Structure 1
Amino acid sequence: MTDTQQAPLDFAVDDRLAGFRLHRLEVLNWGTFDKRIWRFDLNGRNALLTGNIGSGKSTLVDAITTLLVPAQRIVYNKAAGADTRERSLRSYVTGHYKSERNDATGSTKSVSLRDTQSYTVILGVFKNEGYLQTVTLAQVFWIKKQQVQPARFFVCAEKELSIQEHFTGFGTDILQLRKNLRAQGAEVEDSFNRYAAWFRRRFGIENEQALDLFLQTVSMKSVDNITDFVRENMLARFDASERIHALISHFEDLDDSHQAVLKAQKQISLLTPLTEDLTAHAESKTRHDTLKACRQALPGYFASQKATLLEQKIAKEQDIAATNQQQLTEQEDARTTCKVQLDEIKQAIYANGGDRLEQLAVAIQQAEKTCEDRRKNAAHYATLVEKLNEKPASSAERFLDLTQHLTKQKSQWKKQDTWLAKDLTEQSILFHEEKNQHAEIVTELDSLRQRQSNIDERQIRMRAMLCEALDVSADDLPFAGELIRVRDDAREWEGAAERLLHGFALSLLVPDHLYAQVVDWVDRTHLKGRLVYYHIQQHRSGSHAARHPNTLAHKLEVHPDSPHAALGGE
């Protein structure tokens, strides 16, 4: 270190000077820097401070540290690796430079460069070249009687100060120095906290941890564990347990808020279509009102258009009417002229035999009418002739021949028509007879399908009439054919037996108690047919002659299911 007031330092050139940087450091009566002002111009650049052991390197570092960090947290002379008790704020203010040993007592005593009548000033000027800002920080120390630690106050100003200009010439009264500084626009604080808050706000230091990091690194010689160093000095500390408890305690609030958000989102999702519908409805209503107004305006618009067209048409019609009126006048004049000429011509015609001409005109008209009638008759005649497959006559001779031919043919057609009518009558009668026979056959077939015997339907109807009149069942008046049948072992005789016994099979068997009633009914009723019936008397026991196996009686048997099966023995 030289004895000059200004200690020039050689440092590397760096144009990037953004942010607040230390431009100048001044000390007065700080440590071994005694009696005068020591100034170090850095101009915001990095600097390398070199010197022998004990030359004052750590003293300057501790001065910068004292400007920015509370004294109670500073370990002075740490950069030199000294004991924590080797230096203190008082030793720097009084200028201790060595210790003397008392041989008599064996104790040691520090030797100081200054007494209690002096004062100490450390001052730093910081500039931000990017924003043209300047901040000056300074601290003033002095020793009060009966106090271990020196008294001090803090100075901060947003302009450039210097010890020579602003911290001298006040005598020995510290209060006067404070007044002078305030008068020059500086702020004087008695508390480091207020002082630190002031420069931190200007420097943009939001967290005290940055100053702690500065304190740790300004005199650091080595780092044992970089992770621990970063965790302890570069990361903000916070109590995670409190945050966790706060989160747990407020979980219900968060859940309620979340549910409220979900509810609001749901309401929004539900209301969005309604809003869209309302917007669409408003647009539709606006369009409807516009169209309604247009529709209401249509009658007036069409009326005005119609009035314009009618006016144009009226004007046109008036022009046409005027033209027609003029033409009518001209036609009337021409008509009058023609009428006069017609009268003159009629008079001339009458004068020259005009009556004969009128008679000829009437005759011509009658002849034309006669011609038209004959033409129609000729067309009708041609149509009729063509229907008869003949050609119309083209001459009078052909007309006479055709007339005679058609007259003869007409006579033949009349005869043929008479014969056809007669034949039609005969065929109709024959058709009705055949139709009746067909109906009888169909009825007979239906009757045969409904009964087991081959009794004629006519006989069945007569018995039905008889049973209805006597109020008896058909089983009480059976036909012989309903009682007998050919045995199963003689089926080959069935045809011969039916032919032989056909008449007997159609005979009605009348019991003794009904015989008188049957005879009476037959006598009183016109049967329109032949009815044969036999009186069946009460059974008489007797012997029967032996029957030959080939006799017809041996081939027959009485239906076992018939209620008259007992008659089979007779």
Structure 2
Amino acid sequence: MTQAGFAFDDQTHVLTQLELFNWGGFQGRHQAIIDGAGTAVIGPTGSGKTTLVDALMTLLCANPRYNLASTGGHESDRDLVSYVRGISGPGDGGAAQSHIARQGKTITAISATLASQEHTVRLGALFWFDDSSSAATDMKRLWLFAVSPEQTIEHWLMLHHEGGMRALRQQEKQSTGIWVYPSKKAFLARLRDYFDVGENAFTLLNRAAGLKQLNSIDDIFRELVLDDHSAFDRAAEVANSFDDLTEIHQELETARRQQRSLQPIATAWQRYQTLQQELSEKQEISRLMPVWFAEQAYRLWRAEADRLSDAHGHAEQTQQQLQIELTQHRKRVDDLRQAYLQIGGASIDDLNDRIGDWQKNCGSRQLAADQYQRLVRNLDLSEDLRAEVLDANKREARTRLDILEQEIKAAENNAYRQGADEQAIKTELEQLKTEEAEVIKRPGSNLPAQFQTFRTALAEQLNLPEAAIPFVAELVQIKADQQSWRGAIERALGSHRLRVLVPPASAKE
């Protein structure tokens, strides 16, 4: 029977596909295609049949009862955390439940696709832990409702990998046909509104999925549909509460005050959640940045290595080509040299060597000629470079040299005589200066200085003052107005004037 054989209208949606990623014992991504004509899920115990159904119940029910089909409709210790962590075992709390497939940081995604003749809707949920915790309060959740075919489980996982919850939440602003809900209550409200069903519809489906016997349907239908007295009980409670409106008002006021006092906590909690989300995103970025930089560095270095390899290969080819050309040129040079020698190249080489020597000598001789011309110019001789002029200049230079040597010798003799005369004059001048000093020292005496010096030495030897041993000339007394005759009088005394008179007591010594 095909899907068209069922009595479905244009608005009826049929489950067409289930997708799982890291859900329960299903590691990685798995896909189950549901045939509209009917699909049976079969397999041995523990193969994951109930796990597949529980994934759908997680998307449809507010509080799904897990593993009902395996436990015969009884309560199970399976919960959402056990499916996210991948805890294996029968789900009855026994010792066999011991293996945790996904420890540490992990993410789980489930998706269900429902299609009608005109529309397709995809329901999805993502659950993840950022650490090794297995507490339900540490598990982050996000619910997705999409009508766009571009919104797939692979796309959601990629967005979460790149930007975490923030990237998924941005989908509503950046794309159309996608709604993201951090709250399951709002998500289920959107489902019930879209499919136009009541609150018990999905719960009934959850209970029916765990039936082992068909006669149990009556009990479930009666419990969830026919015997729903919750509305009547609530009406009775409201009627009874009219008698206590004052107390209700007080409770409302108390609740308002409590709400106002708790509002900062709620605001702080929202702020905390936002900061926690930002921290998670930054931690994820911090974790991924080294990998990204490593990939970029590897790509750049790989490109650079390829470029250098190509350049090296090109250089080797160029080197080989140049080596071939060098060999050819060397052979060409050898051939030309042989041909050159065969046509008399050796004689030409000798001539070239001699020409080179002559050119060197020519340069040195030209320099000598320039120096010679400057010299004869200073001597007022002819600058002609002819041999006869050169000989005449040599004879003239020799004659001048002889005359100059004679003049130099005469000048040297004259300088020697003048030096001797100068030395004699200097000696006489020194004597005169000495006598002048003695005269200045003894202005009243005309005695020569050497005799004065002799008397000084004699006085020191005899330990007498100079006045105690006078010269004879000093004993001559002349009138003051006749002092100009002292020199003549002393000369008249002759050599007696130079006699020194020594006291008798000192004369014995």
Q: Tell me which interval the TM-score lies in, with the shorter structure as reference length.
A: 0.3 to 0.5
**TM-score, normalised by the number of residues in structure 1:** 0.36
Q: Between Structure 1 and Structure 2, which shows a larger proportion of helix residues?
A: 2
**TM-score, normalised by the number of residues in structure 2:** 0.40
State which structure, 1 or 2, has the greater radius of gyration over its C-alpha atoms.
1
